[in-house]
Every structure is written in structure tokens, then in C-alpha cells.
Amino acid sequence: MSEGKVAIVTVHGTGDTAESADGAKWFQRGSEFSQRLLQHLSSQGISGEIIPHLWTGANSAFDRERGADKLADRIRGLYNKYDTIHVVGHSHGGNVANDAAVLLKWGLRRNAAREKFDSLTTVGTPFFNVRTGALQRIAGILFLVIAWASAVVFPLIAALLVWGALSGENLMGMESQQAELMAAGIYVLIVGPCTLFMLHMSRQGIRRILRPKTGGRTRTSIFSLWHQNDEAIAFLQRVEELKLEPFPRGALFRGSRGAAIAFGVLAVLIIGLFNPLAYSFGRGDLLGMMDGIADEDIASNIVVMTMMSLLLAPAIFTVVYLVYRFFVGGMVQEVGTRGSMNRFVGGVMRGVAMGRDGDQVLYGVSPRSHTHTTQELVLGGECATRMQEGANGAAGKLIDKYRWALFTVGGDTSASLTALTTDAMTWESLIHTTYFDQPEVAVAVGDHIARTVRESAHAAAPAPSSTASLPAMA
């Protein structure tokens, strides 16, 4: 173990990955932020090393979960190489780091010396809570029981089969001892990996179900740094709070009008055409109104039947229309299913924004973790003002850049709007993506790491939830 060596694992956010660990982005070695952070730590006698953790950066719950699994493995690999390990995550990189902390049971271990890392700092992270349904919880627990039972039974059965083949007991009823050995080997090679796969899947599933809750058993706390006008946090909170109603009151009833007309016309056609045709093939009068007409005059009978069907067409159409419109469109759709459809479609729309792509429900967007107590540092003073003014200035330049393109007669407005939207999401145009341009942020992160190092290399993180202050920004 390197004496006094500090590992700082940086975790980037959505859409901000890189191909190399070295570069100019905040999380890479050699970036302006990483140099500031290392210099600040060095001024306090702490030698640090930046270790970027690269994941896909996709807005996907699955990709974040996979990134968390890899981050947990990476932290385990660093455990015996450094005195202390500190994780810094930006945006959804904070969610990746938070899930890795859950996977590593950070703050849940009885022996603090066995913690895999020492501090977790998030910057501008919109933390998600995760919910699974009752049936999924029951299924997950049963699956865990089955997986562990299989893990216990498998080696016993494998040993019994191998012993039977070697001793000649012929437990599987094979014709020869060689066949017994081959069958036992096939069982071990096939069932063994499948059992390990089940154990891995059950571990992931139970981790979702038994996630710790804020203020529970965890002794550790997350240091959350954020700006009050952070666009990502605010946007996702608005999406969650917004009352989405894709199908307004009366929409399904009004929408059933076209279908009711179509079914009414179809009923008229079926009855008006099928009955004469059936009669012409000698199948009788389906309407029961042609008794006494001579069979030899088929052509005239068909004409008469067609006319009679046309006379009944208004009544047929009206009955089918009213039944469909008021029963199907009104009672079944409008009264019975509109609420559930709104909840489902609204949930899908929120899920798109939050990156939901599985069976988990994401909710409770907050700058505070849902699994660990949180120390908050809400940026204020000159730093916050500078970030706000920078975003406002960038927005003003964008308006000046695209104003004439948007309001020119005959101009390609759609192309201008697309270009404006793309430019508005660049690094310089948002508060959310300019944290690491501020020297004060490097100081705040460095002070938290230094404080943790001084307290103890493997001690719990700082005290429970409180709102910290930063004198340098005042």
C-alpha cells in the first residue's frame, strides 16, 4: 500500500464520456479542474491521483446500473493500492457513484476499516429514488431463495454424480462408466455456469429491492454540491411534478366518433350486402322478411332484399353508432380506462426524460441522496453569480446569433430551431455543465477530501445532513 496515497475516482455525467483517461474534460487526467484539485490537496500535504471512470454516458437506467457495477469492481481493485479512495461524480455520474456505494454496502459494514472507499462527492446530481412493485419484490426474493438453494444443491449433486461414476455405482443408469463420467462432466460444465449466472442476477435484483433508505443504518454521508438554478435538477423536478394528461377529460369519448361512424357503416354494408348474396346462393332470407316470394325470380328478389336492407340502413347505422359511442367510447374508454391510460402514458413520458428503460420506477428527483444522509453545499456568493451570469451571457449570444434566422420571411425556421437547441446544450451555455470551470468548486471538493483524509483513512464520512457554507464564495 502506498503510504499517504490518495485515489480520486472521477465519474462523468450523461453525454460526457471520453475515449481516454487523459484529456481536457474535467474528469480526465491533465484537465484544468484535476490540476486545481491536486494542487489544492498538495498544499495541504496530500498526494492525490486522478483515476477517471469512463462509462457510456447514455441517459439510460440500464447503462447507469452497468456503470455502477463496473465502478464498484474498480473501487474493489483500488482498495489495497491506496490509503484512501474518494469518488467525485457529476450529474448522473453521481447516480452511478451512489448505486456503486449501495452495491458496496458503503456505510453498512460493522467494521469501518473494511469500507471500500472513504468519501463520495456529487456535483449537480439529480438523485433518483427507485421503486419496484409488490409482485416484483416477491419475485425477486423468491428468485434469490431459488438461486442460493441451487448454489447449495449443485455442488452436492455434482460430487455425488462424479463419485457414482468413479465408484461404478451407476447412479444415472448409463451403460458404461465412461458414459457416467461424461454425463457428470456435462452436468458440471452446463449447470455450473448457469448457477453462477443466477446468483449474479439475484444479487442485482435483491440490491434493488433492499436499497437502504436515507437516515437509516448507513454511517456515511454524501457531500452534494449544487447550484439553485441547475437546469438538470430543475428540469427533472418539473417533469416529475408536472401533471401530465395526454388524454384530457372527454378526449376518448370525442375520439370514439370516427370509430363509431366506421363501425356503423361497416354494419350497414355487412347486413345490406351479405343478406342478398346469401339468399342468391340458396341460404335463405337472413332478415326473415322475404317469405312467399318465388324462388325462380332470384334477380328480382335480390333487388327487393337490397332495397329493404337500404331502408333499414339508417336504423342499423344509428344503433351501432350509439352503442359504440356511448358504451365503448363513453363507459369503457372514457370512464373505465382514461385514468389508467393517462398514468401509463404520463409515466412513459417521465421515464423518457429520466432514462427509465426497465422495470424500475424512477421518482423523487432531489439534490439529496435517497440512500445516504447528505451534506449539502448550495453554491452562493460570487461563484453562483458568476455561473448564472455566464449562462445568461451565453443565452444572449445565442439569441443574437439566431434572431434573424428565426424571424426572416421565408427562412428555414425549423433548421434554425434545431441548431439553436443544439447550441443551447453546449458546455458553456448551461450552469449544469460549468461547475468545474469555477476555482471555488475545486477548493470545496478538495477541502472535503482533505477533511476526510485527516479524520481517518477509513473513517465514516462527515456528519448527517446539513447545509454547509463556503466562506470563499461569500
Looking at residue 393, what is its pLDDT? 79
226-276 confidence digits (pLDDT tens): 999 998 899 888 888 777 777 788 888 888 888 888 888 888 777 766 655
Q: Name the residue among 224, 3, 226, 10 with its Cα closest to residue 117.
A: 10
Q: 259-294 as b/e, with b when 16 or more CB fall inside 10 Å? A: ebeebbeebbeebbeebbeebeeeeebbeeebeeee
Spatial strand order of the sheet with 5-11 comes to 47-53, 5-11, 84-90, 119-123, 221-226, 373-378, 466-468
Comparing 72-76, 377-381, 468-472, which segment has the lowest mean pLDDT? Answer: 468-472
285 has a pLDDT exceeding 90: no
Cα 453 to its chain centre, rounded Å, is: 34
Report residue 346's pLDDT band, with 50, 70 and 90 as the boundaries.
confident
User: Cell 492525490 identifies what position?
Assistant: 48
> Looking at residues 283-289, what average pLDDT do you find?
46
Please state whether beta strands 221-226 and 373-378 pair in parallel, antiparallel, or not at all (unpaired): parallel
Contacts of 399 (CB under 8 A, 6+ apart): none
Pairing, β 373-378 against β 466-468 = parallel
Place 173 in a pLDDT band, splitting at 50, 70 and 90.
Answer: low
Of 101-105, 176-180, 457-461, the poorest mean pLDDT is in 457-461
More confident residue, 447 or 402: 447
The confidence score (pLDDT) of residue 368 equals 94
Q: Enter the C-alpha cell of residue 186.
A: 456435462
* Percent of the chain predicted with pLDDT > 90: 31
Assign 1 a pLDDT band (cuts: 50, 70, 90). Answer: very low
Mean pLDDT lowest for which of 123-137, 170-184, 454-468? 454-468
Using CA atoms, how far residue 106 sits from 61, 81, 217, 352, in Å, is 21, 19, 10, 30
Q: How far apart are CA 101 and CA 116, in angstroms?
A: 9
pLDDT value of residue 21: 95
pLDDT at 104 over 80: yes
Domain borders along the chain are: 134-210, 251-354
pLDDT band for position 105 (cuts 50, 70, 90):
confident
Strand partners for 226: 378
Instruction: Decide if pLDDT at 328 tops 80.
Output: yes
Judge contact between 246 and 345, C-beta under 8 A: yes
Let me know the angle formed at the C-alpha of 467 by 373 and 450, rounded to the nearest 5 degrees. Answer: 75
Going by pLDDT thresholds of 50, 70 and 90, the confidence category of residue 365 is very high
Q: Give the pLDDT confidence score for residue 127 in this predicted structure.
A: 95
pLDDT given for residue 213 in this prediction: 65
The half-sphere exposure of 446 on its side-chain side, counting CA atoms within 13 A, is: 25
Q: Does residue 439 surpass a pLDDT of 90?
A: yes
Average pLDDT across the chain, whole number: 79
Q: How many Å from the N-terminal Cα to the C-terminal Cα in the chain?
A: 40
Q: What is the pLDDT of residue 457?
A: 46
Return the minimum-mean-pLDDT range out of 45-49, 53-57, 98-102, 422-426: 422-426
> Which residue in 81, 8, 15, 17 sits closest to 50, CA to CA?
8
Cell triple for 17: 464520456
Cα 170 to Cα 164: distance, rounded to the nearest angstrom = 6
* Backbone φ/ψ region at 459: left (φ over 0), alpha (ψ -120 to 50), beta: beta
What tens digit of pLDDT does each residue of 197-215 get?
888 777 767 766 666 666 5
DSSP string computed for 282-295? T---TTS--TT--T
User: Per DSSP, what are the bridge partners of residue 8?
Assistant: 50, 86
For residue range 394-418, what is the model confidence (pLDDT) as tens digits?
Answer: 766 655 655 555 555 555 556 655 5
Cell 351501432 identifies what position? 320
What does the DSSP 8-state code read for residue 373? Answer: E
Higher pLDDT among residues 6 and 203, named by residue: 6
Q: pLDDT tier at 304 (50, 70, 90 boundaries)?
A: low
Q: What is the pLDDT of residues 39-92, one digit of tens each?
A: 999 999 999 999 999 999 999 988 998 999 999 999 999 988 998 999 999 999
Task: Tell me the C-alpha distance between 97 and 108, whole Å.
Answer: 16
The residue with greater pLDDT, 335 or 245, is 335
- What is the reported pLDDT for 289? 47
Range with the poorest average pLDDT among 76-80, 326-330, 355-359, 447-451: 355-359
Least confident of 205-214, 323-332, 437-446: 205-214
Whether 8 shows a pLDDT value over 50: the answer reads yes
